[in-house]
Amino acid sequence: MGQSAESESGKRDSGGATQPELPPGQRVQRGWPVTHYGPVPKFRPERWEFRVFGATADGEKYCWNHEEFTALPHASVLADLHCVTKFSMLGAEWGGIPARTILAAAPPSPEVTHVMVWAEYGFSSNLRLADFASDRTIFATHKDGELLTAEHGFPLRLVVPHLYAWKGPKWVRGVEYMTADRRGFWEERGYHNVGDPWREQRYSYQEEPGDGPEL
């Protein structure tokens, strides 16, 4: 399904075998636990739409219905998922629409520095534009060749492999382009504004100057 990228996790031992490499404080998880806040939304394809709004290059809003969105060019990314609750799921294949495809179809203004990813029930997560624009960031519809289940984010979840998993919301409905940073749902409730698992950026009290706006 489109192009694929190599996993960023793993290192070679002296015998040449690949050994998993985990961010600090993480453990390998077998299987995929269900973790989320609130109820699982009911998918209604006739009402579903994906919107891009805010500081777009031309000042316009962009909108795709479900059929149009899933017809966009697909790709796959082989990547790990690191949850802030300290489990890591290694080597999953995520299939879907790359974030860069959305940026190309709905270009942001040159002044944009951050995005807010919006999901069902008003849930949100903020990202630096550079993190969103990574060639490994993907709006996933599939995992390991299978459609996502409703509990794991069907019909659409964002996967940002180099950040903690809360930065990639389930049940995504749109993206807002922003010219200044603004905290999302969990970031307002004490989670780190950046969320780099390799630096173990779990909570807001760990933030350094420049990591995020004032709480």
Parse the chain into domains and list their residue ranges.
Answer: 44-181
3-state secondary structure of 5: coil
Helix, strand, coil: what percent of the chain each, to 5? Answer: 15, 30, 50
pLDDT at 209: 95
Structure tokens of 81? 């998922």
Structure tokens of 11? 């290192």
- Which is nearest to 125 in space by CA: 157, 93, 95, 94? 157
Q: Contact 57/46 with Cβ under 8 angstroms? A: no
pLDDT at 33: 73
* CA dihedral sign, ordered 5, 7, 8, 10: negative
Domain formed by 44-181, architecture: Alpha-Beta Complex (3.90)
Structure tokens of 176? 């807002």
What CA–CA distance (Å, rounded) separates 166 from 36?
9
Q: Are strands 18-19 and 11-12 parallel, antiparallel or unpaired?
A: antiparallel
Beta bridge partners of residue 65, listed in sequence order: 49
Structure tokens of 41? 């939304």
Rg value, the chain, Cα: 17
| Amino acid sitting at position 8 | E
Place of tokens 């998880």: 29
pLDDT at 20: 57
pLDDT tens for the chain, residues 1 to 215: 333 333 444 443 333 444 458 999 999 988 777 676 678 899 999 999 999 999 999 999 999 999 999 999 999 999 999 999 999 999 999 999 999 999 999 999 999 999 999 999 999 999 999 999 999 999 999 999 999 999 999 999 999 999 999 999 999 999 999 999 999 999 999 999 999 999 999 999 999 999 999 98
pLDDT at 9: 46
What CA–CA distance (Å, rounded) separates 146 from 167?
22
* CA dihedral sign, ordered 102, 107, 109, 111: positive
Phi, psi of 198 (to 5 degrees): -75, -20
pTM score, whole prediction:
0.89
- Which is nearest to 160 in space by CA: 124, 134, 190? 134
* CA-angle at 184, arms to 191 and 119, nearest 5°: 120
